[in-house]
Amino acid sequence: DGGITQSPKYLFRKEGQNVTLSCEQNLNHDAMYWYRQDPGQGLRLIYYSQIVNDFQKGDIAEGYSVSREKKESFPLTVTSAQKNPTAFYLCASSIFGAGGNSPLHFGNGTRLTVT
Amino acid sequence: DAKTTQPTSMDCAEGRAANLPCNHSTISGNEYVYWYRQIHSQGPQYIIHGLKNNETNEMASLIITEDRKSSTLILPHATLRDTAVYYCIVRASGTYKYIFGTGTRLKVLA
């Protein structure tokens, strides 16, 4: 089945450590996204990438980094510079082009806890 | 960038239609309206989207006003499994940046 795989589902880290969240898609989508969700809040955009080797900052990019070396993969690194890293992280993808109306497809998220 | 405004929460009786409103008064002419829902601790699920015409699929109907400044998602026969947070979003013009609001928490009551 085609879809987006985020791993692991739960991740625990000590403060001061960098951590990388995995996101893989086999939908052949061009665009990929990372969102962050805090308890009781909506989704906030961290980074997005429209094509391989290109990405743009979202609204809350500080303390995060991404890479897009392959079309199917868009890993997110939460660095020690991120002041409040504990959150639910969601990866998504969409078709690029096609009049720009393609919907987002989401993975099931990674819950990161930093202590 | 267009922003959306939704009520914080709504209740609906099981079997009745759930009508979820959304205001997007600054939407541009080429921006689509999308609806998603999220059940606790899962990724959002796509429901429906539209530009200016009303749309219907197996999950829901989307009614967009003629001036496109607001829309309504209709779940025709709500079930307990429709209890979720529903997000109305628009795509930022000229980019692939989808902006989410805080959504409406729909509770379907038995």
Tens-place pLDDT, residues A61-112: 999 999 999 999 999 999 999 999 999 999 999 987 545 678 889 999 999 9
CA angle in degrees (0–180, nearest 5) for B99-B57-A102: 35
B94 has pLDDT over 90: no
Gap between the Cα atoms of A36 and A39, Å rounded = 10
- Cα separation of A40 and B43, whole Å? 14
Residues of B at the A interface, defined by Cβ within 8 angstroms: 30, 32, 34, 36, 41-46, 49, 51, 87, 91, 95-103
Distance (Å) from the C-alpha of residue B15 to the closest C-alpha of chain A?
A: 27
Q: Which residues of B touch A44 (CB under 8 A)?
A: 100
Q: In this predicted model, what pLDDT tens digit does every residue of B2-48 receive, in sequence order?
A: 589 999 999 999 999 999 999 999 888 888 899 999 998 899 999 99
Q: How far apart are CA A92 and CA A74, in angstroms?
A: 10
Closest Cα in chain A, distance from residue B76 (Å)? 22
Average pLDDT over residues A22-32: 94
- Decide if A88 contacts A34 (C-beta within 8 A): no
Q: Are strands B45-50 and B33-38 parallel, antiparallel or unpaired?
A: antiparallel
